[in-house]
């Protein structure tokens, strides 16, 4: 893996190899982001399921619920 540095004054572009510590930090951050996204997705799915269950109990569609609330 490389870090790219671009000197806009000279137009020079450098590829600088990352150290093992930098690579581990990037991997750690990626794992945390994936975990956060999975949590957000699970919460959204649970909310959608709860909404569908409530609409089924009421015997109405989502469109009908919107009409009632407007």
What residue spans define the domains of the chain?
A: 2-69
pLDDT of res. 28: 98
> What pLDDT, in 10s, does the model give residues 34-63?
999 999 999 999 999 999 999 999 999 999
CA 70/CA 66 separation, integer angstroms? 6
The predicted model gives 3-8 an average pLDDT of 94
pLDDT of res. 46: 98
0.85 cut: is pTM over it? no
Three-state helix/strand/coil letters over the chain: CEEEEEECCCCEEEEEECCHHHHHHHHHHHHHHHHHHHHHHHHHHHHHHHHHHHHHHHCCCHHHHHHHHC
């Amino acid at each position: 893996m490389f870090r790219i540095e671009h000197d806009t004054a000279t137009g020079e572009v450098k590829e600088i190899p990352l150290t093992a510590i930098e690579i581990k930090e990037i991997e750690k951050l990626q794992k945390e982001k994936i975990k956060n996204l999975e949590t957000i997705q699970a919460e959204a799915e649970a909310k959608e399921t709860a909404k569908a269950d409530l609409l089924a109990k009421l015997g109405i569609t989502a469109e009908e619920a919107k009409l009632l609330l407007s």
